[in-house]
Amino acid sequence: MGKRVFAKRMDDLGTETAFLVLARAKELEAEGREIIHLEIGEPDFDTPDNIKEAAVRALKEGYTHYGPSAGLPQAREAFAEYVAKNRGVDTSPDQIVITPGAKPIMFFTMLALVDPGDEVIYPNPGFPIYESMINYVGGKPVPIPLEEEKGFSFDLDKFKSLVTEKTKLCIINSPQNPTGGVLSREILEGIAEAAMENGFYVLSDEVYSKIIYEEKHESIYTIPGMPERTIMIEGHSKTYAMTGWRLGFGVIPENIAPDIAKLQTNSNSCTCSFTQMAGIEAVRGPQHATKAMVEEFRVRRDLIVEGLNKIPGFRCHLPLGSFYVFPNIQGTKRGSKELETMLMEEAGVAVLSGTSFGAFGEGYIRLSYANSQDNIRRALEKIAKVLG
Ligand SMILES: Cc1ncc(COP(=O)(O)O)c(C=O)c1O
């Protein structure tokens, strides 16, 4: 008998089904069908010119070499300054580790902190990579259900009942993908109290911190005692429409940051040097492009929520952040995956089944409004037609 090809741990690796849906959409487009893309997880805006120009300048100045694994010192300083300004908490450049996109911080944190058998609490429905990574490193995934009636937040008593002496890490994400929900100060304080009492760490994914509509962004990092036990994920992908540049960073307790940088030495070596230089311009330069983008997202959010609520069988909560809506579709009497397929094949609208984000996503679908108002209107008409 031949040797097994894959290591056993590969059985535990999940994926982002958004990429599979995109592939099917491309197949249909190749056959000449028109597909409206509401499955996308990135701003449809271009990176602002001042940021592109900074990258070109950096290339010409020779930022074409390897840099330190934790990031260029000037970029670590600029990002620490950005965090201090936006969260109102003193932050040292030694706490910053810069990575190619924010995603590696998730993986590195779990590799560094989670032993096989350790429990990790994470939001469900939530970004699918959380569950995938917990399983991959041999941790025990402990889902906390996000509840539509609570604006896709959760019940604090239920959360506390999930904490055990084996809880090593808790992942939170606010504003949230896929629901658009945000966690209130009260919930964050409850989590912080449990973390300090039980000695677990918090991985706080705040990549949508600037894409928020009604209230100011609340971060667990601002709660006294929490900078010592929070790994905050921030990045440029969403805030500055820089998904393809691959630039993100972690804000990490100083006793942990060097080991996260060591994981980077063992994998990517470092983040692209001229991208980091462009990232400095992003955080220190004018911020009006981000503000204009968020204002446009707000108009689209209102448009899509109003339209979805008129479709029989849909019930759509008004999201407070990110650029996704997560309507309840139980009234259509169809399952989430079935509706995803039907909308793609019959209506020509690409959306994601709620189950792409975990088992508790059944009964919902995710639509991204990172698309033009015209396309959103046309998609709503097409969805209404096939369900009518
Ligand atoms: C909740 C959440 N965290 C992290 C990421 C990863 O972003 P990046 O492009 O910075 O790796 C995404 C991307 O979709 C996301 O939705």
pLDDT of the residue at 65: 98
Contact 351, 333 (CB under 8 A): no
pLDDT of the residue at 180: 97
Same domain, 232 and 137: yes
pLDDT of the residue at 153: 94
Is 204 in a helix, a strand, or coil?
A: strand
User: 18 C-alpha vs ligand 1 centroid, how far in Å?
Assistant: 13
Same domain, 174 and 213: yes
pLDDT of the residue at 269: 97
Cα–Cα distance list, 284 to 39, 51, 80, 83, 277 (Å): 31, 10, 11, 12, 11
Same domain, 38 and 85: no
**What's the whole-model pTM score?**
0.97
Among 284, 313, 340, the domain boundary falls at 284
H or E, element range at 205:
strand 201-205
Does some domain include residue 2?
no
Question: 246 — alpha (psi -120 to 50), left (phi > 0) or beta?
Answer: left
Does some domain include residue 56?
no
Does some domain include residue 181?
yes
Smallest CA separation from ligand 1 atom 16, residue:
177
The CATH number of whichever domain residue 379 belongs to comes to: 3.90.1150.10
The CATH number of whichever domain residue 146 belongs to comes to: 3.40.640.10
Same domain, 31 and 144: no
The minimum-distance atom of ligand 1 relative to the CA of 41 is: 14
Q: At what angle do helices 257-266 and 103-113 cross, to 10 degrees?
A: 110
Q: Is the CB of 282 under 6 A from ligand 1?
A: no
Number of domains within the chain: 2
Residues spanned by the domain of 221 = 62-284
Contact 280, 269 (CB under 8 A): no
Q: Is the CB of 177 under 6 A from ligand 1?
A: yes
pLDDT of the residue at 210: 98
Does some domain include residue 1?
no
Does some domain include residue 57?
no
Among 234, 266, 284, the domain boundary falls at 284
Average pLDDT per 10 consecutive residues for the chain, totaling 388 residues: 89 88 94 95 94 98 98 98 97 98 97 97 97 96 96 95 98 98 97 98 98 94 98 98 98 98 98 98 98 97 98 96 98 97 97 96 97 98 94
Pairing of strands 349-350, 36-37: parallel
pLDDT of the residue at 1: 67
Q: Is the CB of 236 under 6 A from ligand 1?
A: no
Does some domain include residue 379?
yes
Q: Is the CB of 176 under 6 A from ligand 1?
A: no
Among 284, 315, 347, the domain boundary falls at 284
The amino acid present at 112, given as its one-letter code, is A
How far apart CA 355 and CA 125 sit, in angstroms, is 8
Closest CA to 173 of 153, 200, 193, 190: 153
* Top mutation candidate among 109, 127, 368 for ligand 1, by most atoms within 8 Å of CB: 127
Tens-place pLDDT, residues 111-164: 999 999 999 999 999 999 999 999 999 999 999 999 999 999 999 999 999 999
User: 375 C-alpha vs ligand 1 centroid, how far in Å?
Assistant: 24
CA atoms within 13 A on the CB side of 211: 34
Does some domain include residue 51?
no
User: 166 C-alpha vs ligand 1 centroid, how far in Å?
Assistant: 27
Percentage of the chain beyond pLDDT 70 is: 100
pLDDT of the residue at 192: 98
* Top mutation candidate among 40, 103, 245, 272 for ligand 1, by most atoms within 8 Å of CB: 103
What's the angle, vertex CA 301, arms to CA 171 and CA 207, rounded to 5?
A: 30
Tens-place pLDDT, residues 306-322: 999 999 999 999 999 99
